[in-house]
Amino acid sequence: MDTIFSSATGNFKSAIKIIRVSGEKSKTIPDIFFYKPTNPKEASVRKLSDKDGNLIDKAIVIWFPGPKTATGEDLYEIHIHGSLIIEKKIYRILNTQKYFRIAEPGEFTKRAFLNGIIDLTQAEGLNDLINSETEEQLKLSTSQYEGKLSNKLNFWRSEIVFLLSKLEALIDFSDEELPSDLENIFLEKVSSLLKEMKSSVKESFYGERVRDGFIITIIGRPNVGKSSLINYLSNKKIAIVTNEPGTTRDVLEVMLDFSGYPVFLSDTAGIRETVSKIEKIGIKKALNKAKKSDVVLILSDTYDFITPNLTNNQKIILVQTKSDLQKEKREDAHQISVKKNIGINELIKKIVIYFNSLSPREGVYLTRLRHVDGVKNAILALDRLNKLNLSNNAELVAEDLRMAAISIGSITKIIDVEEVLDDIFNSFCIGK
Q: Is the distance from CB of 337 to CB of 331 less than 8 angstroms?
A: no
- Residue 333: its pLDDT value, please? 92
Domain 3-114 has CATH 3.30.1360.120: yes
* Percent helix / strand / coil, the chain, rounded to 5: 45, 20, 40
The CATH T-level fold of domain 213-358 is: Rossmann fold (3.40.50)
- Residue 280: its pLDDT value, please? 82
Q: Which CATH architecture has domain 127-209+368-412?
A: Up-down Bundle (1.20)
pLDDT higher at 360 or 93 = 93
* Cα 245 off chain centre by: 40
Q: Cis (ω within 30 of 0) for the bond into 262?
A: no
The domains spanning 127-209+368-412 and 213-358 adopt the same CATH topology = no
Which pLDDT tens digit goes with each residue over 401-428? 999 999 999 999 865 445 555 655 666 6
Distance of alpha carbon 121 from alpha carbon 411, whole angstroms: 7
Q: Is the pLDDT of residue 239 over 50?
A: no
Query: From its phi and psi, is residue 44 left (phi > 0), alpha (psi between -120 and 50) or beta?
Result: beta
- Residue 310: its pLDDT value, please? 81
Q: Which residues contact 398 (CB under 8 A, 6 or more apart)?
A: 164, 167, 168, 171
Domain ranges of the chain: 3-114, 127-209+368-412, 213-358
Angstrom CA distances, 153 to 185, 204, 372, 375, stand at 22, 14, 11, 9
Angstrom CA distances, 256 to 227, 319, 348, stand at 15, 19, 11
What are the two backbone dihedrals, phi and then psi, of residue 227, each rounded to the nearest 5 degrees? -65, -35
Q: Which of 7-11, 38-42, 117-121, 291-295 shows the lowest per-residue confidence on average (mean pLDDT)?
A: 7-11
Q: Is the pLDDT of residue 348 over 90?
A: yes
- Residue 358: its pLDDT value, please? 87
Q: Is the pLDDT of residue 172 over 90?
A: no
Q: Is the pLDDT of residue 246 over 90?
A: no
* 103 three-class SS: coil
Report CA Rg, the chain: 29
Mean pLDDT taken over the chain: 87
Instruction: Please give the sequence-ordered ranges of beta strands (E in DSSP) within 41-141, or none if there are none.
Output: 44-49, 55-64, 75-82, 100-102
Q: Please report, as a single letter, which amino acid is at residue 38.
A: T
CA atoms within 13 A on the CB side of 368: 17
Which pLDDT tens digit goes with each residue over 126-160? 999 999 999 999 999 999 999 999 999 999 999 99
- Residue 132: its pLDDT value, please? 92
Distance of alpha carbon 263 from alpha carbon 135, whole angstroms: 12
Distance of alpha carbon 382 from alpha carbon 163, whole angstroms: 12
Q: Which of 26-40, 94-108, 202-216, 234-248 shows the lowest per-residue confidence on average (mean pLDDT)?
A: 234-248
Q: Is the distance from CB of 40 to CB of 136 less than 8 angstroms?
A: no
Which pLDDT tens digit goes with each residue over 173-217? 555 555 556 677 788 889 999 999 999 998 898 999 999 999 999
- Residue 241: its pLDDT value, please? 47
Query: From its phi and psi, is residue 72 left (phi > 0), alpha (psi between -120 and 50) or beta?
Result: left
Q: Is the pLDDT of residue 392 over 90?
A: no
Q: Where are the alpha helices (DSSP H) in 225-276?
A: 226-234
Helices and strands: H and E segment counts in the chain: 13, 12
- Residue 324: its pLDDT value, please? 83
Q: Is the pLDDT of residue 237 over 80?
A: no
Distance of alpha carbon 331 from alpha carbon 323, whole angstroms: 12
Q: Is the distance from CB of 163 to CB of 397 less than 8 angstroms?
A: no
* 255 three-class SS: strand
